Amino acid sequence: MAENRIHEKSPWQDITEGNQIYEPATSRQFCTGEWRTCTPVYLAERCRQCLLCVPVCPDSSIPVQEGKRQAFDYDHCKGCGICAKVCPFGAIEMKEGK
Amino acid sequence: MAIRERLSGNEAVAYAIRQINPDVMPAFPITPSTEIPQYVANYIANGKIDTEFIPVESEHSAMSAAIGASAAGARAVTATSSCGMALMWEELYVAASDRLPVVLALVNRALSGPININADHSDSMGARDSGWIQIYAESNQEAYDNFLQAYPIAEHASVRLPVMICQDGFITSHGVENIQLLEDDKVREFVGEYMPAHYLLHEKEPMAVGPYAVSAYYMETKRAQREAMKNARQVILETAARFESLTGRKYGFFEEYRMEDADYVIVLIGSAAGTCKAAIDEIRSATGQKVGLLKIRVFRPFPEEELANALRDKKAIAVLDRSEMFAATGGPLGAEVRAALYSAGSRAEVVNYFYGLGGRDITVDDFKEVYAKLERLARTHERTDMYTYIGLRER
């Protein structure tokens, strides 16, 4: 699939009908994290792994492995700050900029 | 053998929907198209068809649900009029740019305001840039016939565009006329099964419909959409030819009535053509004056070349618009017919009239007056009143 992908130099004849995309999960390749103006910082030493931050993230940017949250996915985190708001332990702080 | 019946335009379209048995019909009632979903709901309740009817809370939702159903791989239909279509505005463009072959039964009614429930073309003419194919009917028979041709055009692999089948509110939608219907099995064979190449519910092919297109893609996408609209020309004619071999009823981009030797021609869309034809017959038998009519059936795609060829050598042409566009000049049909004639180097005199706005009546005598004016214009070439009205009260 990947080699057939249309790109920014593709002529109009190659554009798929209605821009349809015939493969799953391509939004992962779209780094919406570039839009971020504030960045959450994870303070692991304060974190009790309650995982409250995980389900509230609108961009699924807090990965979990074996019941423990991992570092932020900054490719997709837009810096909304909801995770910092819900964290009961002050383990997420928001800083200005990317 | 065809079935002889007497039906209103709304009944005829609902009958066609029953025969096609589409998968999904989301709809919201609005005068004068309310009866279409009402009759279809009856067919469903009586077990005649298994269409999924979605009683949505607005026309915005009706078109959204039709888009969703179509993207999922279903054959979708809806019906509306006037402000109902205005509320679909955003989705009309989405259906077209996502290349979803939704069919909309539009019963033309004037847009508010002032609020009015009668026929004019302001609703569909307002949506003329939305990317939908637009096919108009003069009579109930044509509304039925056009509806049967809608899916074969919309779903054709080289087209894949939504189609609106338009008829004039109350005049044809509620007027009962003799009509010839096809048998159910013939309709099913003519329309065929919908087999989209890609659709969201295809379990082996995950896909995305309607993704964001940044400026690096938007223009190419629109160009590709235009190609589909150009391809529709051929498909519309092929579908009409197939329909003719089935029914004997001939359709094209437009109908020419007594045009072979005509010098003075009226161009219009919709039900007023019947009145115009009556005027033509009377004039020709009374005075022999060579008058004719070109009735547009397909407004999108616009049949520019064919139209110009049919009109270029006429002496004088009146283009009749049943909607305003507030250019403070003429109406949309007038502008496009003039452009077509100009491109073809025609020297015909052209005058643009507004008529029938908000259901204002137009009579045989009105048409006779237009033809008399055309004859005078061709003789004197006096260029006054190039944008004028029929049936307007003036001091």
Give the separation between CA B59 and CA B303, rounded to whole angstroms.
30
Q: What is the pLDDT of residue B338?
A: 96
Beta bridge partners of B27: B55
Question: How many Å lie between the alpha carbon of B100 and the closest alpha carbon of chain A?
Answer: 8
CA atoms within 13 A on the CB side of B374: 30
Q: Which two tokens stand for residue B11?
A: 């009944």
Q: Considering only CB atoms, which chain B residues are within 8 Å of A10?
A: 220
Please give the backbone phi and psi of residue B14, each rounded to the nearest 5 degrees, phi first: -60, -40
Task: Count helices and strands (H / E) in chain B.
Answer: 13, 15
Q: Which two tokens stand for residue A61?
A: 């940017």
Measure CA A37 to chain center.
14
Cβ–Cβ gap A20/B208 under 8 Å: yes
**Sign of the four-CA dihedral B35, B185, B297, B328:** positive
Q: Judge whether residue A1 has pLDDT over 70.
A: no
Q: Which residue of A has its CA nearest to B224?
A: A12
Give the separation between CA B302 and CA B370, rounded to whole angstroms.
25
Beta bridge partners of B298: B135
Give the separation between CA B70 and CA B112, rounded to whole angstroms.
30
A20 at B interface, C-beta within 8 A: yes
Please state the length of chain B: 395
* Contact predicate A50/A76, CB 8 Å: no
Q: Which residue of A has its CA nearest to B216?
A: A8
Give the separation between CA B258 and CA B277, rounded to whole angstroms.
9
**Cα R_g (chain B), whole angstroms:** 21
CA-wise closest residue to B55 among B79, B30, B27: B27
Which residues are CB-contacts of B172 (< 8 A; sequence separation ≥ 6)?
B8, B9, B137, B138, B139, B140, B143, B271
Mean pLDDT, consecutive 10-residue stretches, chain B (395 aa), reads 93 98 98 98 98 98 98 98 98 98 98 97 98 98 98 98 98 98 98 96 95 94 97 98 98 98 98 98 98 98 98 97 96 97 95 97 98 96 88 95
A24 at B interface, C-beta within 8 A: yes
Q: What is the pLDDT of residue B1?
A: 66
ipTM confidence: 0.87
Q: What is the DSSP letter of B271?
A: T
Give the separation between CA B217 and CA B61, rounded to whole angstroms.
28
| Number of other CB atoms surrounding residue A85 within 10 Å | 11
Give the separation between CA B90 and CA A8, rounded to whole angstroms.
26
Q: What is the pLDDT of residue A6?
A: 84
Which residues are CB-contacts of B90 (< 8 A; sequence separation ≥ 6)?
B60
Cis peptide before B22 (omega within 30 of 0): no
Question: How many Å lie between the alpha carbon of A14 and the closest alpha carbon of chain B?
Answer: 9
CA-wise closest residue to B322 among B362, B351, B349: B362
CA-wise closest residue to B20 among B188, B155, B165: B188
Q: Judge whether residue A3 has pLDDT over 60.
A: no
Using DSSP bridges, classify how beta strands B133-136 and B298-300 pair: parallel, antiparallel or unpaired: antiparallel
Selected residue of A15, A16, A28 to mutate for chain B interface (largest B Cβ count, 10 A):
A15
**Cα R_g (chain A), whole angstroms:** 18
Q: What is the pLDDT of residue A98?
A: 84
Q: Considering only CB atoms, which chain A residues are within 8 Å of B220?
A: 10-12, 15
DSSP-derived 3-state class of residue B335 = helix
Selected residue of B94, B203, B220 to mutate for chain A interface (largest A Cβ count, 10 A):
B220
A26 at B interface, C-beta within 8 A: yes
Q: Which amino acid is at B157?
A: A
Q: What is the DSSP letter of A24?
A: S
Average pLDDT for A2-22: 87
